[in-house]
């Protein structure tokens, strides 16, 4: 850019020599402005509001504070890039609006000790728990082995959840309970598997529960209707037995 300015000054040299110092300064400024700088090249000054080009890496260092601060109006991004290439060692507070604590893998698990039998009563009571969970939405699965005695049914369910979508039932002696649900909980919440029995001498053992936090924004596809019996051989025609509501 300098050679352009110099050439113009030479051609107007006679006029410039006839002017005073102040007029010379104004004239040079007008010539530079008229040159219409498109960008600042390597080694030049950084021009605000203009395109700046460089063929080497520019380094900005501040030994006492933040080297660069960008402010944008509400709803506008303070920074944009033209490449999807990963930026190494970039530490960010949010990814897609989620904080690091929201993105990190988390969950909870609980299981009854081996050989421990928990007596069942006529009201739902915890048999396995995840422990306190961070806030979020969790996929929860629970199972339990029930001793029904062959008389009255026994049921288990996940709470917080839909208690009337429990697992269990009645059998000659033993019944397997299995439940699955998705729950959204506040921080510090424990998700539990709870069971009850309608008879006497009933017990639950090998109870276990697992909760895995869902980080995807998609919750998947919700089934609309059950498949007919003739499509899936062995699928019983009658709906599964639902447990009674929590007392």
The chain-wide mean pLDDT, for the chain, equals 76
The residue behind tokens 């010379």 is 24
Beta bridge partners of 194: 126, 157
- In whole angstroms, what is the distance from residue 165 CA to residue 156 CA? 9
Residues 32/5, Cβ–Cβ less than 8 Å: yes
pTM of the model as a whole: 0.55
What ranges do the domains of the chain cover?
2-52, 107-213
pLDDT of residue 186: 93
Residues 46/53, Cβ–Cβ less than 8 Å: no
- Mean pLDDT of all residues in 171-194: 90
Residue 14 in this model has a pLDDT that exceeds 50: no
pLDDT of residue 96: 80
- Give the CATH architecture of domain 107-213: Sandwich (2.60)
Q: Do you know the residue count of the chain? A: 247
pLDDT of residue 88: 92
Query: Which of the four pLDDT bands, split at 50, 70 and 90, describes residue 235?
Result: very low
- In whole angstroms, what is the distance from residue 201 CA to residue 204 CA? 10
More confident residue, 31 or 93: 93
Tokens standing for residue 179:
């439940």
Q: Give the SS3 label for residue 73.
A: coil
Residue 209 in this model has a pLDDT that exceeds 60: yes
pLDDT of residue 157: 92
Tens of pLDDT, residues 98-141: 777 777 778 999 999 888 899 999 999 999 999 999 988 999 99
């Amino acid at each position: 850019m300098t050679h352009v300015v110099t050439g113009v000054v030479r051609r107007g040299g006679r006029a410039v020599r006839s002017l005073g110092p102040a007029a010379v300064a104004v004239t040079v400024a007008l010539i530079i402005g008229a040159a219409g700088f498109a960008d600042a090249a390597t080694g030049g000054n950084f021009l605000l509001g203009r395109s700046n080009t460089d063929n080497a890496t520019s380094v900005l260092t501040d030994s006492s504070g933040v080297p660069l601060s960008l402010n944008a109006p509400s709803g506008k991004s303070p920074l944009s890039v033209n490449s999807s290439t990963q930026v190494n060692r970039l530490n960010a507070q949010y990814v897609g609006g989620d904080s690091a604590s929201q993105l990190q893998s988390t969950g909870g698990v609980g299981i009854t000790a081996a050989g421990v039998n928990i007596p069942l009563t006529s009201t739902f009571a915890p048999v396995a728990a995840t422990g306190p969970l961070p806030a979020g939405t969790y996929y929860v699965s629970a199972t339990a082995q029930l001793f029904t005695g062959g008389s009255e049914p026994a049921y288990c369910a996940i709470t917080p959840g839909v208690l009337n979508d429990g697992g269990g039932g009645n059998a000659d002696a033993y019944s397997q309970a299995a439940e699955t649900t998705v729950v959204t909980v506040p921080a510090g919440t424990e998700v539990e598997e709870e069971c009850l029995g309608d008879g006497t001498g009933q017990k639950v053992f090998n109870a276990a529960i697992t909760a895995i936090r869902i980080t995807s924004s998609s919750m998947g596809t919700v089934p609309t209707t059950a498949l007919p019996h003739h499509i899936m051989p062995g699928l019983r025609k009658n709906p599964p037995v639902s447990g009674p509501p929590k007392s």
